[in-house]
Chains A and B, each alone.
Chain A
């Protein structure tokens, strides 16, 4: 749905651009290709790494690690699992809902969801290319710590403080 919209928008703008200025459009497409080709090696490596990690860490293993009784250790483990996996949101949220039903705690799930979205260990090579090592590591570290704050507040709010 969203993808379709993105494609239609891109296509329309491209036609508009072409009608207005052929040369500029060519330049834009060339730039698009160059920046894509530039980042392609990192992209391919990241995709491979994601495949390997997800094949090894399946939902059964994850739910065993972050059960309701797992306490602070479970929260830490949930945050670590969220940091290293890279699951698209439309898979992650139903998975998280399923894990909740099968006995995972809200605090643990919140830590998992938050780090899943904000911390990307496997995408670091791509991030480093644009932001450098220092900012990439710091950003991920801060997001990791911040996820614990998010987790504890959500845990309190959902359980009615």
Chain B
């Protein structure tokens, strides 16, 4: 029970904030709650297949295969694969983190995981097509062209800030997620 409260303390705090908003302005509270309902439905729609696919990936794809394609020594091939996988994705950024954890378990190189996260966050193909039609060709293509080198540069800068031990710690942590 105590453990449950500890795990859910962040959620409990948001429930309290929500209740306070309801007391201050009932309409704003109602609006907030309906947005929560909407996002919750979105989450329920996208999340289950992602986790099931991850479970299957975890059980069926051997570590050696993942290491070969995206691990240490996978070189430019690994980088390209990370960008393609991230860009082909749909769904909000939080969907990418569980995938990153499985990548860690399977021995994917850390820089490739960071590139994957970057690609997922900003160069998603379905979103790009949508951006193209709503904000125009110049806007969308310029953004894409800056973003691809951008996410690679950000990944390598991040890599400079962490030690080998810290990365090992994250990989060990991923085993329990």
Q: Which of B7, B47, B146, B166 contacts A132 (CB 8 A)?
A: B166
Complex interface residues of chain A between 74 and 103 (CB less than 8 A to chain B): 86, 88-90, 93-94, 96-97, 100
A150 within 8 A of B: yes
CB distance from B168 to the nearest CB of A (A): 12
Interface string of B124-158 (1 = CB under 8 A from A): 10110011001110110011001100100010011
Inter-chain contacts of B92 with A (CB < 8 A) = 86, 88, 123
Complex interface residues of chain A between 18 and 44 (CB less than 8 A to chain B): 24-25, 27-33, 35-36, 38-39, 41-44
Number of B residues, CB within 8 Å of A:
76
Complex Cα gap A130–B90 (Å):
20
- Inter-subunit contact B121/A14 (CB<8 Å): no
Inter-chain contacts of B142 with A (CB < 8 A) = 153-154, 157-158
Complex interface residues of chain A between 94 and 134 (CB less than 8 A to chain B): 94, 96-97, 100, 106, 109-110, 113-114, 117-118, 120, 123, 125-127, 129-132, 134
Inter-chain contacts of B174 with A (CB < 8 A) = 130
Inter-chain contacts of A90 with B (CB < 8 A) = 130
Per DSSP, are chain B's interface residues mostly helix, strand or loop, or mixed? helix
- Inter-subunit contact B97/A127 (CB<8 Å): yes
Inter-chain contacts of B84 with A (CB < 8 A) = none
- Inter-subunit contact A3/B36 (CB<8 Å): no
CB distance from A55 to the nearest CB of B (A): 4
Interface string of A1-16 (1 = CB under 8 A from B): 0110011011001100
A-B contact pairs, 24 of them (CB 8 A): A2-B126, A17-B56, A28-B59, A35-B54, A36-B51, A48-B17, A51-B32, A96-B134, A97-B135, A110-B143, A113-B143, A117-B121, A118-B122, A120-B94, A127-B94, A130-B100, A131-B97, A132-B166, A132-B169, A134-B166, A142-B157, A143-B121, A150-B150, A154-B146
Interface positions of A (Cβ within 8 A of B): 2-3, 6-7, 9-10, 13-14, 17, 24-25, 27-33, 35-36, 38-39, 41-52, 54-56, 86, 88-90, 93-94, 96-97, 100, 106, 109-110, 113-114, 117-118, 120, 123, 125-127, 129-132, 134-135, 138-139, 142-143, 146, 149-150, 153-154, 157-158
